[in-house]
Chains A and B, each alone.
Chain A
Amino acid sequence: MPEIFVTVFDVFMRTYPGFLEASVITLELTAIGVVLGTVIGLIFALMKISGSKILRGIANVYITVIRGTPLIVQIMFLYFGIVEIYTMSNFWAGAIALGVHNGAYIAEIFRGAIQGIDPGQREASLSLGMNRKQTMQRIVFPQALRRSIPPLGNQFIITLKDSSLVYIIGVAEIFSLANREAAQSYQAFESFLVVALYYLVLVMIFTFLLRLYENKLDVDKA
């Protein structure tokens, strides 16, 4: 067997207990980023399609600023900016940064999906005597949510990978572990190859679960 496989395997065997532990942190970061991002995204999507100029304005500023600046800057900003005012762990600073970042992208996903629903759906609902809120809740949004699932899945995968950036504020997720391993053992190539495999496997599991869910929705509708 070529030498490289042996050393990669060595690194893998030596580091997997640590990586498994760090994977939990990566998944926690991702989960918080996704949930928080979805909540924020939904709120800002509704603001963006609302009749109020002020709400639309706020949503536009938020989306423009977040999409216009790098995540790593947002992480640093949140960590050093907010921690000054309100004490929080670096884990939470990182998780919130991921959520806030995702929120802007998810808001656009929801907005696009809501506005993509045939206006006839809204008209039919209104013509039956349903008010605007009922029409949104029962007719437009459920359909928009279905359409949002593929792009949301994509965004979730991006979040999983983007969670690596919080290593910069010292959160012990898998990338920071790989980074440390590389520095300590001088086996940089092997360490980063191993962490790449962890990400790849996690993303593949994610993709698989998403596909199951999408198929289930299709079956429901058929």
Chain B
Amino acid sequence: MIVGKNIHKSFGDLEVLKGVDLHVKPQEVVVLVGVSGSGKSTLLRCFNFLEMINSGEITIDGHTINPKKEDLAKIRAEVGMVFQHFNLFPHKSVLENVIEAPITVKKMKKEEAKKLGMNLLRKVGLEDKADVYPSKLSGGQKQRVAIARSLAMEPKVMLFDEPTSALDPELVGEVLQVMKQLAEEGMTMVVVTHEMKFAKEVADRIIMIDQGTIIESADPKNFFENPQNERTKQFIQLVE
């Protein structure tokens, strides 16, 4: 579904990604872990072209993308992204947040979009908040709205960039629950997270990134019980 080949990305002199290869299969849930600064978030942002790679190749759904020539908006519409800080639109109500892109980008009729929006809000358990503004929501509710907003574009793959890192501990569960449900429905997902319990339960594969390269890639059982790389072992000890 998403294939990254030999991805290099630098910010000035700092090389953040040093030739990353990643192949995410349809309906696969891949969890990216690593210490902060390892490049995992940058990799995620490269997949929907919020960051431009310096070299390498990104293929989405069989289509290799040339970011210089193509309409990036069209590509981004197929790749949903959920951010650490939610980034809901504060000047729009919850429902308006969800239906903004279908109306603006897909030119969907307002009535139709509203129906879709309400369905998605029901799915994340927030249909009663449709007319509320984001400032009135808790962090967990905000993130669930952000997920619904992303789903409204019917993306082929969803990227999650530390979706629970900005939440109070008691609000993490409700967001993970929604993500788990998505995974069960067969959504292709790439998730950067520190929630190891989630990784164990939901991931098909856990990938450890360290200093801009992938150093471990295994199913959860092998990742936690039989890590190959020394730094992965250290990391697991640290988080367990």
Contacts and interface: CB of A to CB of B under 8 A. Distances in A.
A70 interface: no
A129 B73 contact: yes
A124 B79 CA distance: 12
Interface residues of A, number: 20
Contacts of B100: 128, 130, 138-139
Interface string B113-151: 000000000000000000001011000000000100110
B73 A126 contact: yes
B105 interface: yes
Residue of B72, B104, B135, B153 with most chain A CB atoms under a 10 A cut-off: B104
Nearest to B133: A221
B101 A222 contact: no
Contacts of B198: none
Interface in A173-222: 221-222
B69 interface: no
B106 to A, nearest CB: 8
B74 A129 contact: yes
10 closest A-B pairs by beta carbon, nearest first, are: A129-B77, A124-B87, A128-B101, A127-B81, A120-B87, A131-B73, A129-B105, A129-B76, A129-B73, A134-B104
Interface of A: 118, 120-121, 123-131, 134, 138-139, 142-143, 146, 221-222
Interface of B: 48, 50, 71-74, 76-81, 83, 85, 87-91, 100-101, 104-105, 133, 135-136, 146, 149-150, 153
21 contacts: A120-B83, A120-B85, A121-B89, A123-B50, A123-B87, A124-B87, A126-B73, A126-B76, A127-B48, A127-B79, A128-B76, A128-B150, A129-B74, A129-B153, A130-B101, A130-B104, A134-B104, A139-B89, A221-B90, A221-B91, A221-B135
